[in-house]
Amino acid sequence: MADRYCLVSSLYGPGTTACWYLIALSVFISWTIHLKKRTTGSIDSDFIALLTLPAVAAGHLISQIHTYSGRYDEMITTEDKFLGEYLAAIEASLNITENFFPIALILCSLAILFRNVRRAILVSLIGSFGFSAEGYLFFTTRSPPYTEYKQGNFTRPFLISIASTMLAAVGVLVVFGVSNIGILLSFYFKRMAVRAAATPSTNRPVDRETVGVAAPSN
């Protein structure tokens, strides 16, 4: 069993993953309990660290799928021990990208609730990148009509294990993304309208007494 995980990167080890979950908890607390941070929309080091690991894992997942040496249609169910090592490495990246989905949904909802546009955009981008990587694995390892199959050689079920769940997740992501874009655009245009109303017009006539210029004598 130990040989199966010889190709798994230490980046996805239990220590790194535990620290990442603690960072996610720290970000959640600062976005909900901290009265100043939850409304300022600041981008701090904890938030950047939270987004870095799933972004790296998604890119790594795409790279691993691209360099896989076996048949894609047999990747999940292969009995080859050598290819099983590659599959274990793929599963490690897949764990991080999929575990980030619920975190991204919660944080994006909080960002929209407190009208933090930059936070919502960053979380949505990384979440969409991870989902795209998993979608790439889903459509690479099977062909239409996308029949169902069990989790195969994975140690846990993923979205890609059930075709209907994966396709339903795509629909939910599309609806959630479109609604978020609409909400963010409404916040943006409302903010621009408020700024435009607060900006004094330069076309108004200047009061000579106010600026201290004497009126011309007759």
pLDDT per residue as tens digits for the range 187-209: 777 778 888 887 765 555 545 55
213 within domain boundaries: no
215 within domain boundaries: no
19 within domain boundaries: yes
Residue 99 CB neighbours (<10 A): 17
* Structure tokens given for 97: 């990208």
Provide the residue type at 58 as one letter: A
Mean of pLDDT values over 174-178: 67
**Whole-prediction pTM:** 0.74
Closest C-alpha to 122, from 54, 192, 217: 54
- Position 30 scores a pLDDT of 92
Q: Do 117 and 42 form a contact (C-beta atoms < 8 A)?
A: no
Number of domains observed in the structure of the chain: 1
34 within domain boundaries: yes
95 within domain boundaries: yes
Closest C-alpha to 154, from 78, 82, 100, 218: 78
27 within domain boundaries: yes
pLDDT tens, position by position, 28-61: 999 999 888 888 888 999 999 999 999 999 999 9
User: Cα(154)–Cα(158) distance, rounded to whole angstroms?
Assistant: 8
210 within domain boundaries: no
206 within domain boundaries: no
pLDDT tens, position by position, 97-121: 989 989 998 998 898 888 888 898 8
pLDDT exceeds cutoff 70 at 166: no
Provide the residue type at 159 as one letter: L
Q: Which range marks the domain in which residue 93 is found?
A: 3-198
In Å, how far are 85, 87, 172, 212 from 207, measured between CA atoms?
80, 77, 58, 9
